[in-house]
Amino acid sequence: MSRGGDLDALGARPRAADAIEVTNLQTFNFNAMLRDQILKNTYFKTLVNIDTFEAIVDEMYQYVETAEAYGAGTTTIPSSLMCCLYRLFTIGITDDELGQLLDSKDWPYNRCVGFLYIRYGCATEKLWDYLGDYCLDDQEFTPSKYENPSLNVTIGEYVEALLMDERYYYTTLPRIPVGVKKKIEEKVAPLGQYRKRTAHNRRVLNAFREPGTPVEACRDNGTWVQGQVVQLLEHIQSRLMVRVKTTDGVEEAYHLGKVILDDSARKPDVSRRSRSRSRSPRGTVAAGGRSGSPDLSRNRGKSMDEMLQDLRARQRERAVCSTGKDYARKPIGFMSGLALKRDMGVASTRLREEETYAPRQVEQRKQMSEWELIDKHKAEGEQDREKQLRMQQLFEKYGPTRGAAAAKDQKPADNEEEAVLRLG
């Protein structure tokens, strides 16, 4: 029986019939090293006695204080977050329970557990369906308590990193096939522009609160459609939505970052007021962030194809600039900023390096030769001391037979030679 099966026999509830489908019920797609560390972890063993979703969530409120995979200063002790995540996999959770995690309002780390549950457990072709709406969530939190506690990011940036990166701090995430990854990249490419437009639109939010305001909305395929505001949906403050009725009579909710004000469809007096305000240097800076930058609340910005090309150009640039062991060791993207260098012992460092990258044989031979060189120097030093001792003994034994005259003629030289022999 597998180790996971042994744990399930220790009082875990049977997986519910309506539990979310997980692609691997044996390992839950955790890598072998992390899974073994979790199963041996003392805290996880206490979680085995907890077999309800509500009780595990209570544990998360009490003990989960970071989104990191490991505890402070170690790559051998899994964090409470990873232990709770694995325990949720063993009992299985429903769609409603997953929704409670994803939309938790008072504890962002519960949301991280939900996102990781999807990233580890769900089929890769369903990742965007589950996580796409959260990529523009602008709730801020501190993901790292130990590595970089001063770094704040948004939930959207965190979710984007889960989709784009293959590493999570010092562990690996399930691999996403190339074909699926390309489709995800097409969805991720415009996120940066959507986030900027969201910030611009928040400055003119009252315009979106007014029903009938003419707007343009961007569909998922990158095409723009004209319409009018029906309602601003504000029940989730970190993901504001605008319900738009398009010219073909269809009503649909769009994220605030995908909607722009359509000045061309406004009444003349309103249009004149908008243009007069936009000509003001102060208005330009306020809308665009700096003088000369486009006001994305009224500008479509770059096309979908342009943003996708920019994304892949950045990826190629990072791939070219990173070579050798640094490329293999450092993950690309947001998580690499969190996986900062730690100060730890030799054993922990070696363990991290073995899990993170495969050292080249040349470097291994170089490291071994350095130790051999140290031993060689020690041996040579001992041989030199033995040689000096023998020479000194020979000098003391045969030196007086050379005669007094020779000693007088060569007194300065003999003194110098004797000093040299004795000092080595």
Task: Provide the pLDDT for residue 125.
Answer: 96
Q: How far apart are the first and last CA of the chain?
A: 70
| Mean pLDDT of all residues in 12-30 | 82
Q: Quick check: 346 pLDDT over 50?
A: no
Position with higher pLDDT, 28 vs 373: 28
Summarised one tens digit per residue, pLDDT across range 46-90 is: 999 999 999 999 999 999 999 999 998 889 999 999 999 999 999
With 0-12 / 13-18 / 19 or more C-beta atoms within 10 angstroms meaning exposed / middle / buried, residue 320 is exposed
Residue pair 254/244 in contact by the 8 Å Cβ criterion:
yes
The confidence band for 135, taking pLDDT boundaries of 50, 70 and 90, is very high
What number of CA atoms fall less than 13 Å from residue 415's CA on the CB side?
4
**pLDDT score of 238:** 95
- Of 396 and 377, the structure prediction assigns the larger pLDDT to 396
Measured between alpha carbons, how far is 315 from 4 in angstroms, rounded to an integer?
38
pLDDT at 276: 45
Give residue 399's pLDDT.
64
CB-based contacts of 98, cutoff 8 Å, min separation 6: 20, 114, 117, 118
CATH 2.30.30.140: does it fit domain 191-301? Answer: yes
CA 17 from centre of chain: 33
The tens digit of pLDDT for each residue in 158-199 reads 999 999 999 999 999 999 999 999 999 999 999 999 999 999
Which pair of structure tokens corresponds to residue 424?
A: 């080595």
What is this structure's pTM?
Answer: 0.70
Give pLDDT, residue 394: 77
For residue 146, what pLDDT band results from cuts at 50, 70 and 90? confident
**Sign for the pseudo-dihedral over CA of 116, 118, 120, 124:** negative
Residues 6 or more apart in contact with residue 101 via CB below 8 angstroms? 57, 93, 110, 111, 113, 114, 117
Q: Does position 206 have pLDDT exceeding 80, yes or no? A: yes
- Mean pLDDT within 334-351: 44
Average pLDDT, rounded, for the chain: 79
